[in-house]
């Protein structure tokens, strides 16, 4: 027979091919780089080189009838082993095909598979592999929630409904995701950017105050309207406190990683947990 059927009960899915002596060595044209490479001839060459041990038919799932680098390397490997001209070519009446005739006794009793049989074999092989494969579900990680779906106040964290990985969301504008490699990816949000802007404002105000102090009352009156400098100091203190609270967001990745490792709670300032306090702290008075 041409192709032995694949036995699903066997551990190996590598089929066996047994062409007959009078058929396997009858090439219609050359095989190799830039040669005719008729599919029937390529099938025969692949079978012969697979039987000689110079071509891994298992990796191909059996002969395909299509030439390629694997076939060329197999031809050269065989030619090198046998002391033949190493050119990667197999001619219908060349030295390579004649040398391979020493394998003739191994192919008694069968004929070479046709291209249709080879294609049918690979179709069945593909279906068998598809049926044998299993879907692997990635592990799912979820952080604890309260019964009503909200996060307990003492947990200081927000769980996610992600199907794959946990996402910690202390604020809607700030997200920390756990990557596939287990590392924590932190994406600063609008509030962190706003805190950075406020820090720049405070630095500018401090510079203005220093300039006013160095220049005396006259210098201060020239740089700022009357009564503004004391108000800047008052606003500066409130902004400094607000920024101190907001800047704690930058420690969230480390806190989140500790929570995942050993359950250490994530601590956030009260202004961040209470939207009313948070909104009030944004408006200096």
pLDDT for 263: 72
- The pLDDT confidence band at residue 73, using thresholds 50, 70 and 90, is very high
- The pLDDT confidence band at residue 260, using thresholds 50, 70 and 90, is confident
pLDDT in tens, 114-169: 888 888 888 888 887 776 655 555 444 444 555 665 555 444 443 333 333 344 44
Q: Which residues contact 29 (CB under 8 A, 6 or more apart)?
A: 35, 36, 37, 38, 41, 92
Angle at 121 between CA 115 and CA 124, to 5 degrees: 145
- The pLDDT confidence band at residue 231, using thresholds 50, 70 and 90, is low
Cα–Cα dist 155/164, whole Å: 22
pLDDT in tens, 208-221: 777 777 665 444 44
pLDDT for 52: 92
pLDDT for 175: 46
Res. 42: pLDDT tops 60: yes
Q: Residue ranges of the domains in the chain?
A: 21-132, 167-282
Look over the chain and give the mean of its residue pLDDT values, rounded to a whole number.
67
């Amino acid at each position: 027979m041409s192709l032995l059927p694949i036995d699903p009960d066997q551990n190996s899915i590598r089929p066996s091919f047994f062409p007959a002596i009078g058929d396997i060595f009858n090439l219609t044209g050359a095989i190799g780089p830039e040669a005719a490479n008729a599919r029937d001839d390529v099938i025969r060459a692949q079978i012969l080189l697979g039987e000689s041990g110079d071509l891994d038919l298992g990796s191909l799932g059996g002969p395909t009838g299509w030439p390629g680098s694997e076939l060329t390397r197999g031809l050269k490997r065989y030619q090198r082993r046998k002391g033949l001209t190493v050119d990667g070519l197999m001619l219908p009446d060349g030295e390579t095909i004649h040398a391979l005739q020493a394998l003739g006794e191994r192919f008694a009793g069968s004929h070479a598979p046709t291209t249709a049989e080879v294609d049918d074999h690979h179709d069945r092989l593909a279906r068998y592999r598809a049926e044998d494969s299993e879907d692997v579900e990635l592990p799912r990680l979820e952080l604890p929630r309260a019964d009503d779906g909200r996060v307990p106040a003492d947990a200081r964290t927000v769980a996610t409904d992600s199907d794959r990985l946990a996402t910690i969301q202390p604020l809607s504008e700030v997200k920390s995701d756990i990557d596939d490699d287990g590392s924590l990816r932190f994406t600063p949000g609008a509030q962190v950017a706003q805190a950075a802007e406020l820090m720049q404002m405070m630095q500018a105000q401090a510079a203005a105050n220093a300039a006013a102090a160095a220049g005396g009352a006259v210098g201060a009156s020239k740089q700022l309207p009357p009564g503004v400098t004391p108000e800047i100091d008052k606003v500066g203190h409130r902004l400094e406190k607000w920024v101190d609270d907001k800047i704690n967001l930058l420690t969230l990745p480390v806190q989140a990683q500790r929570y995942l490792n050993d359950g250490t709670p994530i601590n956030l300032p009260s202004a961040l947990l209470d939207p009313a306090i948070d909104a009030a702290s944004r408006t200096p008075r």
